[in-house]
Amino acid sequence: MRPFVYERAEEARSAVAAVADRPDAMYLGGGTNLVDLMRLGVAEPARLVDVSRLPYDTVGVRPDGALRIGAAVRNSDLAAHPAVRRAHPLLAQALLAGASGQVRNMATVGGNLLQRTRCAYFQDITKPCNKRNPGSGCPAREGDHRNLAIIGHSEACVATHPSDMAVALAALDAVVHLEGRDGPRTLPLTELYRLPGDDPRRDTVLDPADLITEVTVPALSFGGRSHYRKVRDRASFAFAVVSVAAALDVAGGVVRDCRIAFGAIAPVPWRARRAEEALRGAPATEDAFAAAARAELGQARPLRDNAFKVPLARNLLVRTLTELVVA
């Protein structure tokens, strides 16, 4: 591991200043992804600014019912919070489906959003990888890509975003609050992430000095009728092969409204707006759910070894929505 300076930030402005001044400084949350990547030689910051003890460590409910989630809140504390479990069960389920108890106890909300892809070539510095080393090529395209993207990927990079939590937050129209070089600003979570195109280096639109301070989740009247479902290669403690976050509002057998996002099929948490569009006003039947899935997944361009994800994602959505109708 390359030598680095460690400092603990006491407040947001000084943290931003500390990173803004130095191109090779990085924020440190719980460290469960960054410490790993530093050990692997994938990340080589010269300075770590620990933001895990900033006072953004509480979960609250605003008068309008919106959830306020501090960026330093531990994944386990967020999953256990009564307001989350009551109003947004899919968010609690997504968190609990991720990693292990030990990792969730350390991982923060900010760090979870900005965790890097689990593409094996990205994590192996002896291999080429356009994301890690621009222009070196993408061995995953012809190599091991069984668990990589089927949608939204590019010639340059076919990696997926690994977060479970971000999929639930994408479905819930979450908003990310930032403190940056020019002061505070907000960004819808779905606009935080960017598709790789011909420059896969950056996963998000953020400047390196942008500090995530908070995530807000607007109230959703039918948030209680929601579910996060994750398919993985073993029963627990594995990244998703495909996942879906869905909330459904049905009245008189008709879909009044819905929120849908897929995980592990794209370089970003994939908000399924075409599927949502197809469903609003449609009968709450398996046929209509399958048609909505087709509307979304018709854009899929699977690779040699991951075409199975297309029917898997479709079936997962149909099953999840069907169960939400009777729930």
Partner 1 sequence: MRLNFTVNGRATAVDDVWEGESLLYVLRERAGLPGAKNACEQGECGSCTVYLDGSPVCACLVAAGQAEGREVRTVEGLGGPGRLDPLQEAFVECGAVQCGFCTPGLLVQAHDLLERVTHPSDAEIREALAGNLCRCTGYEKILDAVRLAAERKAAAR
Ligand X SMILES: Cc1cc2nc3c(=O)[nH]c(=O)nc-3n(C[C@H](O)[C@H](O)[C@H](O)COP(=O)(O)OP(=O)(O)OC[C@H]3O[C@@H](n4cnc5c(N)ncnc54)[C@H](O)[C@@H]3O)c2cc1C
Q: Contact with ligand SF4 (CB under 6 A): which of 38, 54, 79, 158?
A: 158
Residue 115 binds: one of partner 1, ligand X, ligand SF4, none (C-beta under 5 to 8 A by kind): ligand X
Distance CA 229, CA 237 (A): 14
Least distance in Å: CB of 132 to ligand SF4?
6
Helix (H, G, I), strand (E, B) or coil at 143: coil
Distance CA 27, CA 173 (A): 25
Q: Which of residues 157-176 bind ligand X (CB under 6 A)?
A: 162-165
Q: How far is CA 250 from CA 102, 226, 282, 289, in A?
A: 38, 12, 10, 13
User: Could you tell me which of 306, 307, 17 has the C-alpha nearest to residue 145?
Assistant: 306
Applying CB under 6 A, does 110 fall inside the site for ligand SF4?
Answer: no
Distance CA 134, CA 140 (A): 14
Helix (H, G, I), strand (E, B) or coil at 70: strand
Residue 127 has a CB neighbour count (10 Å cut-off) of: 17
Applying CB under 6 A, does 119 fall inside the site for ligand SF4?
Answer: yes
Q: Contact with ligand SF4 (CB under 6 A): which of 131, 177, 229, 309?
A: 131
Applying CB under 6 A, does 43 fall inside the site for ligand SF4?
Answer: no
Applying CB under 6 A, does 114 fall inside the site for ligand X?
Answer: yes
User: Toward ligand SF4, which CB reaches closer, 131 or 177?
Assistant: 131
Residue 159 binds: one of ligand X, ligand SF4, partner 1, none (C-beta under 5 to 8 A by kind): ligand SF4
Q: How far is CA 98 from CA 73, 247, 263, 299, 304, in A?
A: 15, 19, 12, 27, 27
Residue 119 binds: one of ligand X, ligand SF4, partner 1, none (C-beta under 5 to 8 A by kind): ligand SF4
Q: Contact with ligand X (CB under 6 A): which of 107, 170, 260, 288?
A: 107
Q: Contact with ligand SF4 (CB under 6 A): which of 26, 92, 99, 159?
A: 159
Distance CA 185, CA 118 (A): 29
Instruction: Provide the edge-to-edge strand list for the sheet that holds 254-263.
Output: 226-231, 242-251, 254-263, 270-271
**DSSP label at 187?**
E
Applying CB under 6 A, does 302 fall inside the site for ligand X?
Answer: no
Binding mask 214-253 for ligand SF4 (x = CB under 6 A): ----------------------------------------
Helix (H, G, I), strand (E, B) or coil at 213: strand
User: Toward ligand X, which CB reaches closer, 47 or 273?
Assistant: 47
Residue 168 binds: one of partner 1, ligand X, ligand SF4, none (C-beta under 5 to 8 A by kind): none
Q: Residue 190 has which token pair? A: 């779905």
Applying CB under 6 A, does 121 fall inside the site for ligand SF4?
Answer: yes
Residue 70 binds: one of partner 1, ligand SF4, ligand X, none (C-beta under 5 to 8 A by kind): none
Distance CA 282, CA 278 (A): 7
Residue 102 binds: one of ligand X, ligand SF4, partner 1, none (C-beta under 5 to 8 A by kind): partner 1
Least distance in Å: CB of 189 to ligand SF4?
22
Distance CA 3, CA 59 (A): 35
User: Toward ligand X, which CB reaches closer, 112 or 226?
Assistant: 112
Residue 1 binds: one of ligand X, partner 1, ligand SF4, none (C-beta under 5 to 8 A by kind): partner 1
Least distance in Å: CB of 116 to ligand SF4?
9
Residue 66 burial (C-beta neighbours within 10 Å; 0-12, 13-18, 19+): middle
**DSSP label at 136?**
S
Residue 266 has a CB neighbour count (10 Å cut-off) of: 24
